[in-house]
Amino acid sequence: MSIWDDKDGRKHIGFMVGGKRFHHILPQGTTARDAKRIEAEMRASVARAPTKPVIIQGDPPMLAILAIYVEHSKTLRSAETSEHHAKRLEPWARKYKASQAQEFSDHVIKDMSQKILDKKTGKMKHAYAPATINRSLACAKKGLAIAWRQRLISENFGLRIENMKVNNKREVFLSVDEVQQIAQHCTVQVQAAIWAALLTGARRGELFQIREEDIGIDTITLPSIHTKTLRARVIPIIPALRPWLAHFPLEVSVDGLKSAWRRARVKARMEHVNFHDLRHSCASIMLGLGVDLYTISKILGHSNVQTTQRYAHLQVDAQRAALDKLSVLVQNKK
C-alpha cells in the first residue's frame, strides 16, 4: 500500500523505485484524492530525474495549509492565540486551494470586513478590525511559506496575499483626572492595574506577569520572556506606585479586568477609551512635564526610539504653545 494514515490522521506516501525508498508525510486535512495526485507527481518526478531531489508540485487545499501552520504555531510563545487566528479562516479555507491564495484572501477580507449591527450601541461596525484580519492572513501566508519550503507546493503562493491597510494611530491621551474618573468605578484590584499601567507604561499582558519575586526594593524586573520585545525591563518604583504593588500579583483575571474597564469607562462617559491608552497617556504626560523621547522610549520598553516618535507631535505642540505665549508678549510691546 503506497498511501496510508498514521495514528494522528496524517496521510503517508511511500514507494520503492530502483531499490530506493521514497517517503513523504502529508499535512493533516489532505484528502485521499490529493494524496493520490501528489503520489503520481512524486513518481513522475523520480522517473524524470532519479538522481535528483524529489520536487513535489502539488496544490493542497488551504485547509491543509492552515493545518501546517497550526502545527508550526505549537513552537511559538503565543501558541494558543496563533492557533485561534488561524482557525478563524477555516470557513474560507474549505473553498480554495493553495494556488488560489489571492482569491482566498480577497474573499476573507470582503467577508470579515463587512459591517454588522452592534446590538449594544445600535450602530454599524466592522465584524473584524483590519489588524485582526491581517493577523489571520499572516497565518495563511506563513503556512504557505512552510509548505513551499517543504516542497508541497511549486511556489510560495503566500506572496500573492495582500494585507489590508491599517491605521493603528490613536490620539487618545488621558489626564490624571480622567484616569481617576474611570478608576473610581472599579474595585481595588482593578484600580491597582489601572494606576500601575499609567505609572509604569507597562502593557496589560506585562502587568499580569508581575510576580512577588519580581518586585524589588526600588525596581520591578520583568524577565525577557514576559515582554513583547523579548528584552528584560527594569521599571523604577515611584512613590505613587508603591501602595498599589501590594495588590500584585493581580488576583483579577484578564477577562475580569476587561469587563471591569468596559463598565467603568461607560460610567465615566468615556466609552472611546481603551486600556492600552493608559500606556500612551503615560508617555504624553511625561512629555508635558519635559521628559525627552529617548528616556520615554526606555521607560516604555521600546526596542528603538523610532517607535517613540509617534509622540513627537505632542512635543511640537508644547513648543508651539510656549512660542505662542512669547508671540503674544512681543505683539503687546508694539
pLDDT tens digits for range 91-113: 999 999 999 999 999 999 999 98
Amino acid at 113: S
- CATH no., domain 176-320: 1.10.443.10
The pLDDT value recorded for residue 54 is 42
Task: Select, from the ranges 33-37, 173-177, 258-262, 291-295, the one with the highest average predicted confidence (pLDDT).
Answer: 258-262
Give me the residue spans of the domains in the chain: 3-48, 62-160, 176-320
Least trusted range by pLDDT, from 81-90, 209-218, 304-313: 304-313
Question: What is the spatial distance between Cα 235 and Cα 127, in angstroms, rounded to a whole number?
Answer: 38
Per-chain mean pLDDT for the chain: 83
pLDDT of residue 261: 95
Q: Do the beta carbons of residue 128 and residue 112 sit within 8 Å?
A: yes
The pLDDT assigned to 36 comes to 80
In the chain, % of residues over pLDDT 90: 39
Cell representation of residue 51: 538522481
Q: State the pLDDT at residue 1.
A: 58
Averaged pLDDT, 282-297: 83
Long-range contact pairs involving 206-213 (C-beta distance under 8 Å, separation at least 24): 206/233, 207/250, 208/249, 208/250, 208/254, 210/248, 210/249, 210/250, 211/248, 211/249, 212/248, 212/249
Nearest to 2 by CA among 40, 51, 59: 40
- Tens digits of residue pLDDT in 9-54: 888 888 777 667 777 787 777 788 777 877 777 776 666 554 444 4
| pTM to 2 decimal places | 0.54
Number of H helices, E strands in the chain: 14, 7
Give the tens place of pLDDT for each residue, 153-184.
888 999 999 888 876 666 788 899 999 999 99
Quote the radius of gyration of the chain (alpha carbons, Å): 27
Separation in Å, CA 19 to CA 2, 12, 23, 39, 275: 15, 19, 13, 17, 65
Which residues does 115 contact at the CB level (< 8 Å), separation at least 6? 124, 125, 126, 127
Backbone φ and ψ for 115, nearest 5 degrees, come out as -80, 145
CB-based contact 92:62 (threshold 8 Å): yes
Phi-psi region of 58 (alpha: psi -120 to 50; beta: other; left: phi over 0): beta
pLDDT value of position 321: 67
Q: What is the pLDDT of residue 85?
A: 92
Is 56:45 a contact under the CB 8 Å cutoff? yes
